[in-house]
Structure 1
Amino acid sequence: MKNHFRPCLTLLVVLIWHCSCKQIIPNKEGPLDVAKMIYAHQPSPDIHQYLAGDFATTDTLVPGAKDFPGASFKWRLLDELHDSLALVNMTVMEPNGKATDYYLTMRKDKVWKLTAINSLAMTGMLQAELEELEQMPQGYLDTLIDAAQRDKAGNALKMLTSMDDYHFLLGNIKLILQPDDSIVQHFLDNKAAFNQLKDSALAELQRKSTNDKTESQLVKKMEPVYKKLLIESIATDTEDHGKNIDFIIGGIIDNWVGFLYVKDKKDLPDLYNGNLIMLRDMGDGWYLYKTT
């Protein structure tokens, strides 16, 4: 009897220890895991413990796959700060082929919780402008271009002084409206040209006064080069006292898309306490950013 009792007792002790350890092991679900769980097609019944703010207090605001019927999702962890804050990119791919990027801010409070959802705003206005441009008859375009060339007052028609301007506007708006993966691919396809512009901008910045902390437009003489890359302008970034180079694609009001070159990572703009809604590392000091 004794010979059989001892191994059973040992097994019982091991089981008790194992169960107690399960209770004290820290939660292993990362921000990406929690985001995927919230938007699962069959969400967890205890989903509220992973939501914060209005999401946690109002049932009508509980996010989930129900908000995007028939859609599929792609995920990317953009940032995780001190195991307390994180930003997750959720790309929603609808059945009609449209892809939209959303940015989920997560905060750690025992478990990771969703605190905010952002996306590029006012895209409807850009889409309407794109459709209007695409539908313009050539005769009407010629009239606009002629009027812009004759205008001496510098009014809004100046954006269409040639067919090159027209094609730039078309390509520029289309790029702004593209999903993040496509915008990043545009950069990668033209990386050598972007690096040449970056080097010229840094050289020009070196010649400028280091005491000037305001935004300063750079390499204006190279405008034909960067417009071929669908870049609206190149300037210093005011978020970091003019140390980074901002390759602005465009947007409406304060909803902007662009590429940022950051020479030193300590000069990265604050992702959680400014106007940025996303920042995606593309390698070698280059980042895709969006603001709102």
Structure 2
Amino acid sequence: MKHFLLLALWLWLPGMARALAPLEPLQIAEQFVAPAGWPKMRDYLCCEAAGQARRETLGQRIPARLRRVCQLVRQGPATAVVAVELRDSVDRRDFYLHFGKEAGTWKLLAIRNLAMTHLGPPMVDILSNMPPAEVAEYDHKHPDASHAFTLGNLRLWTSADADIAAHFARNRTDFQQLLRLVQTGRYFAPAQPAAAPTGEQAANADPAVHALLRKLFLAQVTRRETNCASCLEFVIGGKVRSTVGLLYQPTAALLPAMHPDHLIVLKPLGDGWYLYKTV
């Protein structure tokens, strides 16, 4: 009888250990966005996310045809961010899962994406279908933001992260030249407050800087989007305070922290460059 009890306990304990084993943020994300349901979902949700996903996982709400790719962006002692890309044969979309630790267990806190991008495609359609005469008239009325720039900027603003990263890679030489121009001009000196507009205005008015910004479909260079006084932010665009752009900060220790209430993602592109989004 004693041996039977020992055998039963030996068989039972590994199963219990597996049931109680904590999941890492990437594992939770993959379960949460999978097409099938997840019976244990509620054990790994907290706060805002728990209120939003009461009966179904996010994956159950997403059309089954979409492929889901999860990427761990950052994982620290108490917070983590996982990026999720949805794709099919014609489209890509991105959103971001923010995690925190509760009593030693990772839990999904919030789901974020870039807001109001649905406004972009109708504007792109209008601009793309303009006849040459209307394009000329548009350029006459908007000398600082031509038809070609506006169309390219709108497309980039609503692009998937992978497409923005590809745009950066294709134009890396121009991005580096733009960075050198801004740094050489000392428009954003260390002693200058991040909110001071004078240096920012001068930088964006510099003819060489302005020309490269327009060539790269960038709206402006600033330091006010990510609350990072030591970073340079090359803004693509956005609506209200939900923006996307490229950030430069070569010292990793000085990077701003990601947070679901502001900086929703910061993806490394190499050599101190990052793709960022705010909300």
| TM tier relative to shorter chain | 0.7 to 0.9
Residue 167 of structure 1: how far off its partner (Å): 0.8
| Contact 1:54–1:61 (CA under 8 A) maintained in structure 2 | no
Report how many aligned residue pairs link the two structures.
269
Residue 78 of structure 1: how far off its partner (Å): 0.9
Equivalences for 1:157-172 in 2 at 5 Å?
A: 157-160=142-145, 165-172=146-153
Give the distance between the partners of 1:254 and 1:176, measured in 2 at CA. 14
In the alignment, structure 1 residue 272 sits paired with structure 2 residue 256: no
| Contact 1:187–1:194 (CA under 8 A) maintained in structure 2 | yes
Q: Which is further off, 238-247 or 202-211?
A: 202-211
Given the superposition, is the C-alpha separation of residues 144 and 197 from structure 1 closer, same or farther in structure 2, using an over 3 Å criterion? closer
> 1:90 is matched with which residue: 43, 66, 84?
84
Alignment TM-score, normalising by the size of structure 1: 0.80
Residue 122 of structure 1: how far off its partner (Å): 0.8
| Contact 2:221–2:235 (CA under 8 A) maintained in structure 1 | yes
Tell me the residue number matched to 2:68.
73
Give the distance between the partners of 1:230 and 1:284, measured in 2 at CA. 21
> 1:197 is matched with which residue: 174, 178, 183?
178
| Contact 2:138–2:147 (CA under 8 A) maintained in structure 1 | no
- C-alpha root-mean-square deviation of aligned residues, in Å? 2.9
> 1:173 is matched with which residue: 154, 165, 170?
154
Residue 16 of structure 1: how far off its partner (Å): 5.2
Residue 123 of structure 1: how far off its partner (Å): 0.9
Give the distance between the partners of 1:56 and 1:209, measured in 2 at CA. 42
Q: Which is further off, 26-35 or 121-130?
A: 26-35
Give the distance between the partners of 1:144 and 1:44, measured in 2 at CA. 52
Letter in 2 for 1:102: F
Q: Which is further off, 31-40 or 261-270?
A: 261-270
| Contact 1:260–1:289 (CA under 8 A) maintained in structure 2 | yes
Post-superposition CA distance 1:177-236 (Å, at most 9, x none): 111011111111222221222122222227847143325422622211232122222223
Post-superposition CA distance 1:148-182 (Å, at most 9, x none): 2xxxxxxxx4545xxxx111111111111111011
> 1:182 is matched with which residue: 163, 181, 204?
163
Q: Which is further off, 11-20 or 216-225?
A: 11-20
Residue 265 of structure 1: how far off its partner (Å): 2.0
SS at match of 1:277: strand
| Contact 2:228–2:256 (CA under 8 A) maintained in structure 1 | no
Tell me the residue number matched to 2:26.
32
Q: Which is further off, 276-285 or 191-200?
A: 191-200
| Contact 2:217–2:236 (CA under 8 A) maintained in structure 1 | yes
Equivalences for 1:23-172 in 2 at 5 Å?
A: 27-57=21-51, 62-69=56-63, 70-82=65-77, 84-94=78-88, 97-109=90-102, 110-146=104-140, 148=141, 157-160=142-145, 165-172=146-153
Give the distance between the partners of 1:76 and 1:212, measured in 2 at CA. 35
Give the distance between the partners of 1:99 and 1:241, measured in 2 at CA. 29
Given the superposition, is the C-alpha separation of residues 202 and 29 from structure 1 closer, same or farther in structure 2, using an over 3 Å criterion? same
Alignment TM-score, normalising by the size of structure 2: 0.83
| Contact 2:50–2:109 (CA under 8 A) maintained in structure 1 | no
| Contact 1:89–1:101 (CA under 8 A) maintained in structure 2 | yes
Give the gaps of 5 or more residues in structure 1. 1-7, 149-156
